[in-house]
Amino acid sequence: RCDDDQLIIDAGQKQFGATTCGSCGMLYSADSPEDKLQHSQFHQRFLDAIKFVGWKKERVVNEFWDGKILLVLPDDPKYATRKAEDVRKVADSELGFQQITLSSPNSAKTYLFVNSDKMVVGCVVAEQIRQAFRVLEQAQQPQPQKKVSADQEDILERHRAWCCSTVPERAICGISRVWVFSLMRRKSIATRMLDTVRNSFMYGSHLTKEEIAFSDPTPDGKLFATKYCGT
């Protein structure tokens, strides 16, 4: 099954001239009129949604050489909550979430990473929770005969099913979304955002990695969360 997946990926790149747009990050086929149309419709809408013009009042919770992290609260001015919502929608559509399903919209805290090009390239939505269920690694499959390469290992990891413990554990902060712009991934943006959440979520206290919980992680989310939590 993994070999098939690899073939599909390769075929997609070689035969159909797949291109990644250097501005919006969309992968599309330049040979397909439908794809090109879809890209042109997405491109500007996406760039508008992540464009950051600067606000009169910004709650800067962290600063770095390549950007800053802003915190947006539900009662903030409309210009701030609207931008938070626009970015959340971009993230949701990429995650395949149908509608905004915040479990407690009145307490949701949105963290935005704004880079030096004035684009919101990261978004984390954190909500207060009481308990969480630990994700358990699926029972070990029989070892395959062939040794798998790092790439295949990655594909295997993405396909590995996972299940949850039935024993609730105490957690304080639930991460309902974590999203980083595709062209800006693997630059520790998600890591820095979660470190910042842990420092600023509860006034005057620092949350441990055990006190935060990821809701319904995607394969990307699970790879990241596993590394981040050091499990």
- Determine if 180 is a binding residue for ligand ACO (CB under 6 A): yes
Q: Does residue 68 interact with ligand ACO by CB under 6 A?
A: no
Instruction: Report the nearest approach of ligand ACO to the CB of residue 5 (Å).
Output: 15
Tokens at 147, concatenated: 């040794």
CA distances from 59 to 78, 115, 181 (A): 14, 15, 21
Q: Tell me the one-letter amino acid at 176.
A: S
Min dist. Cβ of residue 24 to Zn ion (A): 3
Q: Strand 120-128 and strand 109-115: pairing?
A: antiparallel
123 counts as binding ligand ACO under rule CB under 6 A:
no
Residue 142 makes CB contacts below 8 A (sequence gap 6+) with none
Residue count, binding to ligand ACO (CB under 6 A) = 23
Task: Give the binding site for Zn ion (CB under 5 A).
Answer: 21, 23-24, 43
Measured CA to CA, the distance from residue 150 to residue 148 in angstroms comes to 7
Burial state string for 58-87 with b = 16 or more CB within 10 A and e = fewer than 16? beebbeeeebbbbbbeeebeeebeebbebb
**Partner that binds at residue 180, options ligand ACO, Zn ion, none, CB closer than 5 to 8 Å by kind:** ligand ACO
Among 32, 133, 215, 229, binds ligand ACO (CB under 6 A): 215
Nearest Cα neighbor of 109 from 138, 144, 80, 66 is 80
Asked if 223 is part of the footprint of ligand ACO (rule: CB under 6 A), the reply reads yes
171-180: string of b/e by CB count within 10 Å (b at 16+)? bbbbbbbbbb
In the complex, residue closest to Zn ion by CB? 21
Q: Which does 85 bind (CB under 5 to 8 A by kind): ligand ACO, Zn ion, none?
A: none
Cβ–Cβ < 8 Å for 123, 91:
yes
> According to the binding rule CB under 6 A, does residue 187 interact with ligand ACO?
yes
Q: How far is the CB of 193 from ligand ACO (least distance, A)?
A: 8
- Which residues in the 148-177 window bind ligand ACO by CB under 6 A? 175, 177
Q: Which residue is nearest to ligand ACO (CB)?
A: 221
Residues that bind ligand ACO (CB under 6 A): 94-95, 175, 177-180, 185-191, 214-215, 217-218, 220-221, 223-224, 227
